[in-house]
Amino acid sequence: MPAKPKVALYWCASCGGCEESVVDLAEDILFVIENVDIVYWPVAMDFKKHDVVAMKDGSISACLVNGAIRTSEQEEMAKLLRQKSKLLIAYGSCAHTGGIPSLSNQFSREQILKYVYEECPSVDNPQKARPQVRLVENGRETTIPAFRNVVRALDQVVDVDYYIPGCPPTPKLLKQALLAILSGQLPEKGTVLAPDVALCEECPRKDSKPIDLAFTEFKRPHQILIDPEKCLLAQGIICMGPATRGGCEALCTKGNMPCTGCFGPTSRVRDQGAKILASICSNIAAKDDEGIQKTLEGIPDPVGTFYRYGLAQSLLRRRVDLGAEPTTEAR
C-alpha cells in the first residue's frame, strides 16, 4: 500500500477561524485522517519548525496556509512550506486577499505601534516601551519576529497554487478541495476553488432585486428591521453580493445579514472594492453633488465596507505613503 499523501496546515496573521473551519468538517474529519497524513499543524499537533526543515523538498503533497503575512516569521514559514510542498494552497480570506488584517494597510507601522502600545485606552505603559526584535539582557539574547510595514496576501510573498476563499471557508469547499487534491483532478494552477459567478446567482433574495435600485440612502444592518425576503440592496443596505464570488451558499443573506465580501471577487475582477463602488455609485438616484454627498453619508467607512477582506489585493494595496514593502529588514 502506497504511503498516504502528506498534508500540512499552517497559520499566519489570522484569527484562528480558519483552523476552526477544518474542525467544522465534523465527522468528515475522519475521512481526512483516513486518507492523508497530517505532518504539520501547529494549532493541533506537536511538531516543530525543525521537523519541517528536515523534510525533503516537495515531500508535502499539499499545504494549507491561512492568515496574511505581516511578520518576518510568517514570511519565513511561508517560504519554508513553499519549498517543502508540492501544492501550496492559500486557505481563507487573509491568505487569499489579505483579509481583515490588511485593513491595517491604511495606517503606517508607526501609527499602529503607537496606538497599540501607547494610545489604546486599555493600555497602561507609562514608559512607552515597545517590543524589540532583539534584546540582550544578562548575557541572554531574545529575539522576536520583525513587524513589517504592510500586510500582504500569501501570493505576494510566495508562489501559490490554489486558493480556497472565505472567512472562513465553508467545510463543503474544503472537502471538495481535498477530494480534488486526492483524485488529482485539479483545475488550472492559480484557480480559486469556488464558483466563478457572483453571489447574487445563488442568493434566495435574487428575484426581489429591482432593475433600478436608485439609492436614496444607505442604512447599516443595525439601523433598520431587515425584511428577510427582499434584496438587501433594495433595502438600502450595502451588500457586497454582486461583486463577491459565490460558493458560500449565501450563508449571510440567508441569515438576514448582508454579504460583506469575504469570498473575494470573481476571477475577472482586479479590484473588488472599486467594482462594487462603481456599481453602487452609478445607481445613486441623486444626480447633483449635494444629493450624492448626502446619500454617501450612509457609508461612514468606505474602505472597511468595500475592501473589508481585500485591501492587500486591491490595485492600490496600501496607502501610498507607507514606504516600500521591505524584504531586507533585520530580523
Partner 1 sequence: MTEKKEEIRTGFYICHCGHNIGSVVDCPAVVEYVKGLPGIAVSRDYKYMCSDPGQELIAQDIREQKLNRIVVASCSPLLHEETFRKATSMGGLNPFYFQMVNIREHDSWVHTDKNAATEKAMDMARAAVARVRFHRALEKKKAPIHPDVLIVGAGIAGIHAALTLANAGKKVYLVEREPTIGGHMAMFDKTFPTLDCAACILTPKMSSVKNHPNITMWTYSEVTSVDGYVGNFTIKVRHKPRYIIEDLCVGCMACIDACVFKQKFEDEFNQGLSKRKPVYIPFPQATPQVVVIDPEQCLKLKTGKCKESCAEACDRKAIDFNQKETIEEIKVGTVIISTGFKSFDAKKLPQYGWGIYPNVYTALEIERLVNASGPTGGDVVMRDGKHPKRIGIIHCVGSRDESTNKWCSRVCCMYSLKLAHLLHEHSEAEIYNFYIDMRTPGKSYEEFYDRLLKEGVNFVRGRVAEITDWAMNKDEEDHLVIRVEDTLAGFVRRIPVDMVVLATGLEAREDAQDVRRLFNIGCGGEGFFMERHPKLAPVDTFTEGIFIAGACQGPKDIPDTVAQAGAAAAQCLALIDAGAIELEPNTAFIDEQSCSGCKSCISLCPYTAITFDAVKKKAVINEALCKGCGTCVGACPSSSIIQNLYEDDQIFTEIEEVLAHV
Nearest distance, CB of residue 264 and partner 1, angstroms: 11
Residue 68: beta bridge partners? 13
Measure the CA–CA gap between 260 and 147, rounded to whole angstroms.
28
Under rule CB under 8 A, residue 48 binds partner 1: no
| 231, 282 Cβ separation under 8 angstroms | no
Measure the CA–CA gap between 9 and 57, rounded to whole angstroms.
16
| 219, 298 Cβ separation under 8 angstroms | yes
Q: Among residues 77 and 232, whose Cβ is nearest to partner 1?
A: 232
How wide is the angle at C-alpha 306 spanned by C-alphas 301 and 308, nearest 5°? 85
Under rule CB under 8 A, residue 241 binds partner 1: yes
When binding is defined by CB under 8 A, the residue of 270, 293, 301, 326 that contacts partner 1 is: 270
Q: Among residues 59 and 191, whose Cβ is nearest to partner 1?
A: 191
Under rule CB under 8 A, residue 320 binds partner 1: no
CA atoms within 13 A on the CB side of 78: 28
Q: Among residues 145 and 236, whose Cβ is nearest to partner 1?
A: 236
Q: How many residues does the chain have?
A: 331
- Among the listed ranges 97-105, 150-158, 275-283, 322-330, the one in contact with partner 1 (CB under 8 A) is 275-283
Nearest distance, CB of residue 202 and partner 1, angstroms: 8
277-304 burial, b if ≥16 CB within 10 A, otherwise e? beebeeebebeeeeeeeebbebbeeeee
User: Under rule CB under 8 A, how many of the chain's residues touch partner 1?
Assistant: 28
Residues 184-213, interacting with partner 1 (CB under 8 A): 196-201, 206, 209-213
Pick from 308, 273, 330: nearest CA to 144:
330
Q: Among residues 70 and 308, whose Cβ is nearest to partner 1?
A: 308
Under rule CB under 8 A, residue 179 binds partner 1: no
Under rule CB under 8 A, residue 127 binds partner 1: no
Cell output for 205: 433574495
Interacting residues with partner 1 (CB under 8 A) = 196-201, 206, 209-214, 241-243, 246, 265-266, 268-270, 275-276, 278-279, 282-283
